[in-house]
Amino acid sequence: MTEALCDRRPEPTLERLLADLVPPPRFSRARLENYVPDPAFPSQEEAKQLVSEFAAQLGRPTGGFLAKLRRRPRTARGIYLDGGFGVGKTHLLTSLFHAVPGKRVYGTFVEYTDLVGALGFQRAVELLGESVLVCIDEFELDDPGDTLLMTRLIRELSDRGVAVVATSNTLPDALGEGRFAAQDFLREIQAMAERFQVLRIDGEDYRRRDGVAEIRSLAEPTVREHAEEQTGSTLDDFDELLSHLTTVHPSRYGALIDGVASAHVTGLHGLTHHHDALRFVVLVDRLYDREVPALISSGPGAGIVEDLFAPELLRSGYRKKYYRALSRLASLAHDGSGLLTGGSADPAGERSA
């Protein structure tokens, strides 16, 4: 019988949480050398040069006897890569991770908040404070508690001399805009923003340039038959999956799909509420990170999925997350369709975001 994600209740250990602080499989091959800037958008070349120079600076020896005598470390500066989805921000972030020697960690925003919850704030600062570099992907502040937590974490790491580099779809002084009363936390947000050199990266979604623009829905019998025939596949009803996601912390969605070779979902339909939509976005991100093809059915026949996120969601403060999820799910569904024709899932390629 084919397994369902709904049957899984991951409880990752602290050791697992720490071991996961590395770039996911999709970005394991990302390097500065294979990031190819689009000449139509000069900011991409500028970002590549900035990250290259930053990597060289972090890799330069700064030790010595006198340096060890300093009582207080210098406050470290960081980089904040802002831009739309699909322009290569995550590729650049993981390239930096691979280019810098010494201890460094990499994780998404929710992975860091979960780590702080597991360790306690001070222990997390001490542990992460041993790093040369902390990489934070998908920096999005969705509630006041996370705002206070992450801004304080960045300040304390920076004061210890740890370089922090983050990617986001939102400029630092606009974090939380349209989602909660960001003005109440403006001082905290601005204090964090002062630690970064902010660079806006413009460009088009590379997945659209590759011809992957629409989410393909397959006939439901086709999805079910493929799931039953394949080793390592999972099969879930969409509504049951959404319900199950409410019982699993988003930071554990990576563990939820451990060992999954292909994910199959039937009954996909439009989403109208943020709480369901945002959890599904995180699941799509983790499937994309781990290069897990998706075979999707939204009805009895094949077609194109439209209006997955309601118009009011796409006009909200979370709109950039939703558009990124649409792009990534289209890519995963494209890979899933390729499995039916004997093709293989297309890995990250030269530029991933």
On the question of pLDDT at 78 being above 70, the answer is yes
* Strand 303-305 versus strand 215-217 pairing type: antiparallel
- Assign domain 207-340 to a CATH class: alpha beta
pLDDT of 187-220, one tens digit each? 555 666 777 888 889 988 766 655 567 899 999 9
Confidence tier at 350 by pLDDT (50, 70, 90): very low
CATH homologous superfamily of 39-203 equals: P-loop containing nucleotide triphosphate hydrolases (3.40.50.300)
Which pLDDT belongs to residue 348?
A: 41
Helix, strand, or coil here: 224?
A: helix
Q: Who has greater pLDDT, 176 or 140?
A: 140
Taking the CB of residue 38, how many other CB atoms lie within 10 A of it?
A: 17
Which pLDDT belongs to residue 194?
A: 76
* Strand 78-83 versus strand 163-168 pairing type: parallel
On the question of pLDDT at 182 being above 50, the answer is no
pLDDT of 143-177, one tens digit each? 667 777 888 898 899 999 999 998 886 645 554 44
Confidence tier at 288 by pLDDT (50, 70, 90): very high
Domain with CATH 3.40.50.300 in the chain: 39-203
Confidence tier at 126 by pLDDT (50, 70, 90): very high
Contact between 160 and 129 (Cβ < 8 Å): yes
Among 94-103, 149-158, 185-194, 319-328, which range has the highest average pLDDT?
Answer: 94-103
Q: How far apart are the first and last CA of the chain?
A: 35
* Strand 196-201 versus strand 78-83 pairing type: parallel
Q: What is the DSSP secondary-structure string of 126-179?
A: HHHTT-SEEEEES----SHHHHHHHHHHHHHHHHTT-EEEEEESS-GGGTTTTT
Q: What is the DSSP secondary-structure string of 3-59?
A: B-GGG------HHHHHHT-S--GGGTT--GGG----TT-HHHHHHHHHHHHHHHHHH
pLDDT of 238-266, one tens digit each? 999 999 999 998 889 999 999 999 999 99
Which pLDDT belongs to residue 131?
A: 95
